[in-house]
Every structure is written in structure tokens, then in C-alpha cells.
A and B are shown apart, each in its own frame.
Chain A
Amino acid sequence: MAQFNQFTRRDIARMLMAGAAGISCSGWMPHLAAQAETAKKNGRACILLWMGGGPSQLDTFDPKPDHKNGGPVKPIDTAVPGIQISEYLPGLAKEMKDLVLFRGMTSKEGDHGRATQLMLTGYRPVEAVNYPGIGSLLAKELAPADGELPGFVSISPFRFGGVGGPGFLGPKYAPLTVSGNSSDPNARADLTVENMLPPAHVSPASMKSRVEMLQFLQQEFTSKVAGEAAFSHQANYDRAIRMVETQGRNAFNLDDEPDALRDAYGRNRFGQGCLLARRLVERGVPFIEVSLANSGNVFGWDTHADNFNQVKSLCDVLDPAWSALMNDLRDRGLLETTTIVWMGEFGRTPVINPNGGRDHFPLAWSTVMGGGGLNGGQVVGDTGKAGAEVVDRPVQVKDFYATICRAVGLNPNKENISTIGRPISLAEAGAEAVKEVLRS
């Protein structure tokens, strides 16, 4: 690896091709009115509902009404006879036929940072490898090569530690981050991509002229100097310019939706984020992450104190948004091809602490999947009467990853090559998908 001398001519042919290929002059603004196409036929998508902080399984999907660990939470029946969930989730109880509950999740990571890394990458933290997050992994496999929108959109991200990015896959697979740019509670739902609109003083004619000049300068530059960086720069601007031209195919104009539907999702950042996720799925974006962390609690689901009130208020946001999303996708024929994953970095202790809270608990906890690729209406795993351990059908994180891969139609053994030349499979080697929940 004598880089000083060795001719590091990575892909000469490709560079020359790219240099020679003319850049089409961009038609400015006309795309603005372009109609939203429906998602690519057979295109699979995945929506991750990320519950940073670690949601309590006992007060959501694995209630323990007959044990003191269960606390005051009552169970309710669901659309599937024999399966009960928390009374905080009445909307989702009706959706049970399309949901799979994994009650036997188990891991060894009880620290937010390490556990977040494990759950968002499928691998335990090892210093030498910068593992890609699930969004980048799936976007790489599922995104169309010429998509007008990025393959991975992250809505109001909130997580412990700086993980979940593209890792060694590189910036091409980095998420486009969408955040509400207002702290006004009434405007919270105003989810935008920052700087997507050209400044007010710039006319469309000027913008067109600017982009044409830029493309000319790019061409001049790449004809004089060879280098990966110049092509990365150009590719990135092409994507950004396309986003501005098409205004993301109006994906971010939530005002286009009927008021009743916006209300059903909930007029809060998470609810509107779920609605935005549906709009992105319709426009062919294969991976969307929506984080639930607000509701006045900066640590999200990390309910070390006052657990029951906190969980209830989070569920008041979660339940309508998620059930509206299921219904909405179903109405549009997209639930069959869209897999929804609900998870945090770990669960919470069955024993209630003196502050009325629950602490970190990675030994026996719950995650949920729903929609595309799954035979819903099932429970996998059992944590017994007290919820202290998995007494039946434990599921490791890598197995959960393999199941997600299969649900979206991917082979979990597919490998990517890390920066140090080591092949890394989508799900860790030895992972086994939970076959009984997969639609064959």
C-alpha cells in the first residue's frame, strides 16, 4: 500500500466515462408540478419507528397483569384472540392481525450508546469497524439507482451516540435528515428539509442560470483534474439540485393532505413524521426512520422515574400515529410491500424502582414488526409470569436483523466490504431469521 508511489487509479474507465459524459442542462422549476408517481412496482420499503431511550415492554406489548411487576397497567384484547397488549395502545390492538410481537428479545448491552449501536447496526460495537446503520444498509439494497429522492430519510432523529449513519458504506448512503425548524408547539409538525427553497431574492431565471454555470464549472474542473472527490462533489450536487428542482416531488408539503387524515396521525412531530413517511414510501424512498422522543420528555423512553405517566403520554402519541399509518398504507395498497419495525435499544426492568421508574433491561424485552413480508397476528417468545427472563423462543438481535432482511426480500448473508477490506454481511454471521413469522 505505498500510496505515494502506487498509481491509485481507482476505476480509471469509470472516471473517464464520467468526465466525458455531458451533463444535461437542468430544466429549472418545470418539475415542480410533477405529479407524484406511485412507488415502484414490487418495490419494498421499510419504516423504522425508533424509540430512543428504551421503551418499557411491560407497559406496551408484554403486559404482566397478574404480577406486581406489571404495575397499574391493564391489558386489553386485540383483534387476534388470545393476544393482549397494554390499554395504552387501543388503536394498535385493532391492527394486531398485521403485527408480530417479539416478546423474547435478548441482548447483553445495557448501556444506551452500545445498545443503540447494536440495535441500529445489528453488530456489537467493535472499535475497528464503522458499521453502517440499518437505514443505509437497506437503502443501498432497495433504492432505485436514479431515485429523485435519497434512499434513506431520517425524520427528527433522536438517539444516544452518533451511530446509525452510513458507516463504511460512505456518504452516498447517508440519510437525508428532516427536522422541524420551529420550537413553536403548534408548528412542530412543520417538517422541512432546511435550505430546500432558493432565497426569495433569486428569480427562477437566475437560479437556472446559476445551476447552468455551476455545471459548466464542474465540467471544466473534472476535465482538468482527475479525482474521486470531484466526482463525489458533482454527484452530490446533482442530487441536491434535483431535490430543489422537484422540491422533493412535493413529499414535504404535508398541507396537501386532508385535515382529517393529518388529525388522525396526530398533530405532533411524530404523527406528522409518520404521515411524511407514507408520502416518501409513495415516492419510492425505501427506508424512512421516524423517531419518537418528544412529548415533553427529553430522554424519550428512558423512564427511570415516573414510568407510568411517561409511558402513557408517549403512547398517546405513538398509538394514533402508528395505527393511522397502518390504515393509510393499507388503503393505498402499500402495506403489503412496506415493513414497519418498532424498536428501541433495550427494554426496561420488570421490577419497579423506588422512583416509580424502570431501569435499563436488555435480557428480556419486546420489539414489533408489521406489514410487508410478514404473517401477522403472532407472538414470538415468552417472558413468563414476572417478565424477568425469556422462558421460550429467545430472539437475538442478529436473528431479528435476519428477519427484517427476509421480510423486505433481502438475503441476510449478502456482504458489503468494509474499509479495511473485511466482508460484513447484512446480518451477523450465524443469524437465523424467525421463519414462522415470514410470509413464504
Chain B
Amino acid sequence: MTSRLQFFVLQCGMILFVAGFYRSECFGQLLSSDVVRDVDLHAGKVLANWIDEKSQAQWDQEGVAAPLIVDDSTFLRRLFLDLTGTIPSVATAREFLDSTDPYKRDIAIEVLLREPRSAEHLARVWRRMLVPTGTPTEAMGQMIEPWLKDQFARNAPYDEFARNLLTVKSTDATDPTKPYATSAIMFYQAAGGNAEGAADSATRFFLGVRLGCAKCHDHPFAKWKQEDFWGMAAFFAGVQNGTVDDSPRTTIRPSDSDVEYTAKLLWEEETKLDGASPRKVFADWVVSEHNPNFAATAVNRVWQHLCGRSLAGTVDDLDQANAEDRAILLDGLAMEFAESKFDLRHLISAICRSKAYQCSTVSPDQLGGKLQVADVRPLKTLSPEQVFDAMEQALMLPVGRTDNAARFNGQRATIVSRMNEAFSDSPEDFSAGIPQALMMMNGTLISDATNLQTSRTLRAVVDAPFMKDEERLDTLFLATLTRKPSKREREVLLTSAKADGADRGTVFADIMWALLNSPEFVLSR
């Protein structure tokens, strides 16, 4: 009788969470979503199996054990952060954890990939690839997001994506059939609004080759010469003083030089334009099946975003990677990607289903122990936007403009810009400094979140009658870390809390603070 009553009250308490969940404009029921009815769950599995075979062969060759596959909690949190930029609500987490559907992971992947929020998140991730953090023009980079979001929402083939970006013109901004042209043009503005910047950014982003060094002198470490840089820049001769256009000119002269360079594609003997628009020739060459770096750079970037590390070399310097490293998995997967007509969603889905994605981060025991386990999955640092969005979800913050929501009233902007001051583009680095830690410890948002007067999550937990303290703790853990506490965590946190003789509200406020400040909140494992 008692337990039934408890269950009923628990359900009532959860209504608050469910409400928060809808407000965060995320998903209906995750696993029973209509979305999956039309999706062929088998399609992604074939490629995932291919990835698994290649990975296993490599682990065998290295003489290491395959890594363990993570539990449902870790998987769900990982997937939400990677595909939507936020963490699941308590209700979604419970739904997923309680489900016995053997295909629930595959379903979750397909559903999340089709959420509008996913396109928004991927746009942010790609914007940081296009205009890296710390670039003086970062603010302009943010203005590319609407175009990116449209590309991801439509799942535009990646070659089309590249052509679109490489051939957009300033005059497209007034063309009503190209509503996102203004946004796409910001790529050129963020690159400096000139030919050299455009060539440099396009080559780095699409081909993983940094030519920037060769602008003023031959590259000190790579084979690139000044003429390679300016040969590529000549294709963008129509990009000048912020105006983006095609130019009939196919030569370019650096402002501090008398040498005139002719348009020539990297690693080609000579380039014949035959009267075609130089940028179109450039775009055709970039996406051509003979280009060794286009698909591979895309795959390398997607892999790093999802798995934390690139497959070969670093994403911006694929030209520096050696062929053996590329041959292990990258080049093959790039070929598969090209054969799928550059279907990005298909690629992401397959990677998310693979063991390489679903495996656990190694533990200190595995690092030091006799049995060597493949070290595939590093910890990944959440981006500034992910930290905010995760807090918004965990704290059930209001999201409406009229509710003085943190996302609109300047709090989000403050938090994101403070975090941006110390953010690295490599997901493996945790770069935050003292100002960022102080903000998480004592800042307004956390202060409100750990105050019974102002925190919805805390109130829902503390005020729910008949809820046991263990259940309260479970709920706080699910809200912040998408998992239930371990036995030891339960013991230590509840005992130490009780020992101090503080009232329940204070105890749970303190626990909430510790959870939000814990490494597990800002590091995806």
C-alpha cells in the first residue's frame, strides 16, 4: 500500500520534469517517436558493421582487447550531447533506461538525428570548424549558422554543401530563392573578405591542408610553396574588400609583391579553366572523386566530433598524416561516404552505432593493468553552448521570452562568452581557467540553481512528499549526470549530508552544487 502511494506521488513529482522536458522543445516520446516508422534501421547497421570489422582487425593486430561497450546511461548522455548539444531530461532518461527494446540505441540515434535541435547543434559544431575559436572574426562565424542549420536540417549531400559554400555570391543575398545566401557569405567575411583568406579557409576546412604559412614564405615544415598558396588564392580573385563574386580574372598579385600568380590547383600539374568561372572549377575539383582529401577530411571531422579524436593526422592538417594511418580506417570510410552520395546523416548514424563510438573510456586500471585495452574513446570537453544547454535542461530553466529565460536575458551570452575565453577546438583539451571555475562555483545561474527559493529542479525534489532521500538523490543524479548514483556515492553523499545536521533543503542544494561542478557534468565520457 505504502509503496503504491509512494509510486503515485513519485509520478506526480515527475510531472514537473515532464513539463520541463516539453518546454525545452525536445522530442515527444523518444523511443515511440513517429520518426522511426519510416527509417530503415538496417541501412546504418551495414556500415557500422564494416567499421567494427576494421576496428577489430586493428585491435587484433595491436594485440589489445576490444574496449567494453558502455551502459545505457553513458550512451544516452553521450548521444544527446553529440547529436543535440544538450542532455536528456529525467523523463527521457527514465524512458530509455527502463525500455527493454533491443533496438533502443539504434532508434534513439535515428530519432535524435532528425530532431530540429540536432541541425542547430551540428551547425554550431561546424561553425567552429569553419571559424575556429579565438579567431578575431569569431562573431561573424556565428552568422554562418543559419545556412549550416538549413543544410543539416535538409541533410544536404556534403558535395552540394561544399559547392554551395564555394560558389555563393554577394548578389545572391537579394535572390528570394536563396534565403540563406546572406548567411553563407559570412564564411567569406569571417575569412577576411579577401581572396587569400577565402583560399586559406576553404583549403583548410574542406581538404585539411593549411596553406596559410605559405602566404608570405615557403611553408617551413610542409612541402607547400608560396606559388601553391597564391595559385589557390587566384581562384578567389573575385573576393575583394568583402564583396564575394566570380572574377573573369585568373591571376592574382600579392599587395606587397610584383609577382603575378596564375590559378593552379594544389597537387595538379596545371589547371585549364577553359573560360569557366574559377570558383566553379575550384568547387568541381574539391568535391571530385579523384580528390584524395575531400571525403577523408569530412569523415575525419565527423569522427573527431563524435569520438573525440581524428582518425588520422589532425583535422586541419590531413596532408601531414601518413598513408598507413589513413589506410587503417579513414580512406575506406571516406570511400563509403562518397558512395553514399555524401549522405552525412548516414555517416553519423553508422559511426554512432559502431563499437568505436559506443565503447567506454579507459579506466586507470586498464591503463596500468596487464590486459591492454584499446584506448579509443577520450574524455570530451563540452563546448560553452553545451554547458549552458545542459544546465538549462538539468535545472529546468524557463525557455520562454516572457519568462525572463536565461537563454534570452543575457545570462546565456555571459556564460558562453566567459567559457569561450578558455575553449580549445580539440575536444580532448579541458582549457577552462580560474574565471570559468569561479563562474560555475559562485555565478548567478548556479547560485539560483542551488537555492530552494529559485531552483525548480531542487524544489521538485525536496518538496515531493513521501519521496525517500535515496529517490531524491537518484533524481538529482539523473537530472545532471543522466545516471543513478553508485552505492558508494549514495552512502557518502547522504551520510556526510546527514552528519552535518543541516536541513534537507540545504543538503540537496549542496549536492546539486557539487554535481553541477563535478568533472562528469562538463566532460562527456
Contact = CB atoms under 8 A, between A and B. Distances in A.
Interface string B45-59: 000000000000011
B459 interface: no
B212 A244 contact: no
Given A210-B510, A210-B513, A237-B437, A225 B313 contact: no
B510 A209 contact: yes
Given A3-B310, A7-B375, A205-B502, A221 B518 contact: yes
B215 A127 contact: yes
A239 B319 CA distance: 39
Contacts of B215: 127
A240 B434 CA distance: 5
Interface in B484-512: 486, 488-489, 492-493, 496-497, 500, 502, 506, 509-511
A209 to B, nearest CB: 5
B519 A233 contact: yes
A177 interface: yes
B515 interface: yes
Contacts, number: 223
Interface in B286-319: 303, 309-314
Contact of B312 (A2, A8, A199): A2
Interface in A154-203: 161-162, 170-171, 174, 176-177, 193-199, 201-203
B355 interface: no
B102 interface: no
Interface stretch (A12-20, A37-45, A52-60, A311-319): A12-20
Interface stretch (B141-149, B274-282, B361-369, B401-409): B361-369
B258 interface: no
A229 B511 contact: no
B429 interface: yes
Query: Max chain A CB contacts within 10 Å: which of B367, B493, B525?
Result: B367
Given A2-B325, A193-B435, A244 B381 contact: no
B134 to A, nearest CB: 6
Given A195-B443, A206-B509, A240-B437, A221 B520 contact: yes
B441 A195 contact: yes
Query: Max chain B CB contacts within 10 Å: which of A194, A213, A222?
Result: A213
A263 interface: no
B363 A225 contact: yes
B213 A128 contact: yes
Nearest to A225: B361
Contact of B520 (A126, A194, A217, A232): A217
Contacts of A162: 134, 136
A271 interface: no
A77 B379 CA distance: 63
A420 interface: yes
B522 A217 contact: no
A240 B361 CA distance: 27
A236 interface: yes
Contact of B212 (A113, A127, A224, A422): A127
Given A194-B435, A209-B496, A209-B510, A4 B518 contact: no
Contact of A9 (B220, B375, B433): B375
Nearest to A208: B500
Nearest to B522: A233
Contacts of A244: 438, 441-442
Contact of A229 (B58, B450, B500, B523): B523
B428 A229 contact: yes
B439 interface: yes
B358 to A, nearest CB: 15
Contacts of A212: 496
B324 A214 contact: no
Interface string B416-453: 00000010100011111111111101110001001100
B376 interface: yes
B329 interface: yes
Contacts of B450: 199, 202
Interface residues of A, number: 67
A236 B434 contact: yes
Query: Max chain B CB contacts within 10 Å: which of A4, A8, A113, A420?
Result: A4
B328 A19 contact: no
Given A221-B520, A230-B523, A198 B502 contact: no
A317 to B, nearest CB: 26
A227 interface: yes
Nearest to A8: B375
Contacts of A1: 312-314, 320-322, 325
A196 B438 CA distance: 6
A205 B434 contact: no
Given A7-B372, A239-B434, A229 B210 contact: no
Contacts of B500: 205, 209
Interface residues of B, number: 86
B364 A19 contact: yes
Query: Max chain A CB contacts within 10 Å: which of B59, B363, B506, B510?
Result: B510
Interface string A114-129: 0000000000001110
A215 B428 CA distance: 22
A100 interface: no
Contact of B434 (A12, A126, A176, A198): A176
A223 interface: yes
A15 B422 CA distance: 23
A210 B514 contact: yes
Query: Max chain B CB contacts within 10 Å: which of A12, A162, A197, A236?
Result: A236
Nearest to B442: A195
A229 B324 contact: no
A391 interface: no
Contacts of B200: 127
A396 to B, nearest CB: 18
B489 A220 contact: yes
A126 B213 CA distance: 7
Nearest to A213: B514
Contact of B309 (A4, A126, A221, A232): A4
Nearest to A20: B364
Contacts of B321: 1
B256 to A, nearest CB: 11
A16 B447 contact: no
B378 A161 contact: no
A234 B441 contact: no
A355 interface: no
A127 B210 contact: yes
B40 interface: no
A111 interface: no
B142 to A, nearest CB: 15
Given A8-B375, A198-B442, A214 B514 contact: yes
Contacts of A84: none
Contacts of A220: 486, 488-489
Interface of B: 58-59, 62, 64, 134, 136, 200, 210, 212-213, 215, 220-221, 303, 309-314, 320-322, 324-325, 328-329, 356, 361-364, 366-368, 372, 374-376, 378-381, 422, 424, 428-439, 441-443, 447, 450-451, 486, 488-489, 492-493, 496-497, 500, 502, 506, 509-511, 513-515, 517-520, 522-523, 525
8 contacts: A2-B325, A198-B442, A225-B363, A229-B380, A229-B429, A229-B523, A230-B523, A236-B436
* For the complex of A and B, 6 pairs with smallest distance between CB atoms: A240-B437, A227-B379, A127-B212, A213-B514, A2-B325, A229-B430
Interface of A: 1-5, 7-9, 12, 15-16, 19, 113, 126-128, 150, 161-162, 170-171, 174, 176-177, 193-199, 201-203, 205-206, 209-210, 212-214, 216-218, 220-230, 232-234, 236-237, 239-241, 243-244, 420, 422
Given A195-B443, A226-B364, 4 more contacts: A217-B520, A223-B363, A228-B428, A232-B429
